[in-house]
Chain A
């Protein structure tokens, strides 16, 4: 899982890992500018392994002391967290379809995951979000009905 890197991570930082490719440079600059503007350190790292953006990002998240990683392959850029399943990055953008502003926003969002600030991109038409599973009560088995109700023995 460890990718070839230029230097080990020496301070808490978001890891930005990428398949080396000339076309990636512009995207990388915008993303890193977004992270920097939010005031979070980042570290760029080349990733030689043949895998897709989501896997690169997930690997970067594991290596990052802040547990947030950004991964670029030739087509896509993903923002991932170590806590998420590998195949489900939190954010994803198609590089060909992106604008400098959308890449900058993505970088800012990666940093906002660290700083606990609401993400850019607004809510759009989002009215209600239903969490997939109900929250646990008191560390026991997941509650079946309305959250917070006491379960009957």
Chain B
């Protein structure tokens, strides 16, 4: 009876599998996992190896001195990176429009007049149509009283624009209702003594005049050339409940394309350069045209250029090659959008700008595992052997999932890359790595929902959502209601939260509805993992035909996700593939495949 431990050093986790090998077969005893220390394939990994191994031994109450051999995988490190490029921006010049849609505007209707500051309202005479501009220093009851007095004198006060959050306070004290827009942070930049218009729609409705180009033309008496110039303003205000437009001679709003650089894809038969602002579909078309990809570069001085250069540098350091010898193996581009503050806005307006997310990766055929093996021997005192090609081990482990058969492909859904390995009878295992995996999904979620905190984005990715409807209950995304005996804290009241397994609530710092957040989450997963599952399987399938694959087993961290496996299974079912989350040895779920394969392969060799 020989006690062996298989250890798989992955990009994120290091997994160990302890087994007794007997003449009659293998008796699996325990398994454990730890975070991978350092970059996979370097001597830094030893810490993680020791942790995983000792943890596994402890679980089955065995001693490290009884271990005959530790089997390590031939780690094939994959270095990946990702970047986001915004390709459009919105700029307002000369402060001509306010479209931040405050939550509590006052009054209803359309007001048209000359913009007049509050201090000078007393100078206006009878019949003059004015829009009153009220800065933060003015108390709301004074504002209302002064407007009432002016109206008494015959001044036609048509509307008001207010710096503080005071619209309803003022509106409630006016004798004659007028539309009022408030919360204009940079009110002092609003052009004065110019024609202006304020429009507020009833609750639940949107404005109709200022969001209609001909409405603007009517209000400001524009000719057709001038009307054409103001069209972007009305389009920017569509869907708002309130808006202010001031007609200045040169002001406008422009939606510009930003020079976001280009990416060059070098293939065996073609070299293709695609501008980032052409979007993800064009870039992926370029990737397909350049297949098989030999290398990729991004334009220097851009986010993409910097990211690809960094991926190259990291791999060069790792493998002691020169930067020139490193080749980018795969690129994934995804269309996305990012809320950006509008330049020139007066009230912190944000627009969803188009962006492209890019993931790139590079792999090596072999890491310096002999050095790692030596250090493990030094640390533990046991013999260490390099077990075998990682992909073969993954397939061997995958086949211990009940119900699988050949031809079997394993799909490893990792953090930086999605990897596929296909075992066909009497053929060497075919392997591929494609760029884009869990980390890209997280980044897309964060940018589309408009916040920076990656840990919160991870929580949104991994956990179901709930809306906290009172201090005592929350409604989950599937409609279930949970009641809490102790009152929930103020921070989560009325917020959408991610519900973690241990009952923790992660409040999501956006104003989006639960349905919107859910859609963003699912779409991010689909655009990365479903696309990449199909890409990777196509690349390993003989002649690119997935029909040759009968069984696919999903492995890795994202195979534990509550949505991703079923999305991939649905997409691969169309190709006649049986696909599901792995269940290694009928007990480990999608974990421990390579470690199990190392043990199984060793037993087969020894027998």
Binding site for B on A (CB under 8 A): 33, 36-39, 81, 83-84, 88, 90-91, 104, 108-109, 112-113, 116-119, 121-123, 126-136, 142, 146-147
Q: Which of B165, B470, B499 has the most CB of A within 10 A?
A: B165
- What 9 additional pairs, Cβ within 8 angstroms, besides A90-B490, A135-B482? A37-B104, A84-B487, A116-B470, A116-B493, A117-B494, A119-B494, A123-B507, A135-B483, A136-B483
Where chain A touches its partner, the secondary structure class is: loop
**Which residues of A have CB within 8 Å of B489?**
129
Of chain B, the residue at the smallest CB distance from A116 is: B494
- Cα of A90 to Cα of B167 in the assembled complex, Å: 27
Taking a contact as CB atoms closer than 8 A, the residue among A108, A113, A126 that contacts B507 in the complex is A126
Is B140 touching A130 in the complex (CB atoms < 8 A)? no
Interface size on B, residues (CB 8 A): 43
Is A127 touching B506 in the complex (CB atoms < 8 A)? yes
Is A36 touching B494 in the complex (CB atoms < 8 A)? no
The smallest beta-carbon distance between B248 and chain A, in angstroms, is 30
B66: interface (CB < 8 Å) = no
- Cα of A81 to Cα of B472 in the assembled complex, Å: 12
Is A146 touching B502 in the complex (CB atoms < 8 A)? yes
Evaluate whether A135 and B484 lie within 8 angstroms (CB atoms) in the complex, with A36-B169, A36-B172 already known. Answer: yes
Taking a contact as CB atoms closer than 8 A, the residue among B484, B493, B501 that contacts A119 in the complex is B493
* 6 tightest Cβ-Cβ pairs between the two chains A and B: A132-B486, A135-B482, A128-B504, A118-B494, A133-B485, A130-B504
Of chain A, the residue at the smallest CB distance from B480 is: A148
Is B471 touching A81 in the complex (CB atoms < 8 A)? yes
Is B168 touching A123 in the complex (CB atoms < 8 A)? no
- Cα of A116 to Cα of B472 in the assembled complex, Å: 12
Taking a contact as CB atoms closer than 8 A, the residue among A33, A88, A113 that contacts B169 in the complex is A33
**Which residues of B have CB within 8 Å of A39?**
104, 168
B403: interface (CB < 8 Å) = no
- Could you list some 14 contacts between A and B, CB below 8 A? A37-B166, A84-B487, A108-B165, A116-B470, A116-B494, A118-B495, A123-B507, A123-B509, A129-B488, A130-B505, A131-B488, A135-B485, A146-B501, A147-B503
Is B491 touching A126 in the complex (CB atoms < 8 A)? yes
The smallest beta-carbon distance between B473 and chain A, in angstroms, is 8
**Which residues of B have CB within 8 Å of A117?**
103, 494
B492: interface (CB < 8 Å) = yes
B500: interface (CB < 8 Å) = yes
- Cα of A19 to Cα of B497 in the assembled complex, Å: 38
**Which residues of B have CB within 8 Å of A36?**
168-169, 172
**Which residues of A have CB within 8 Å of B482?**
135-136, 147
B202: interface (CB < 8 Å) = no
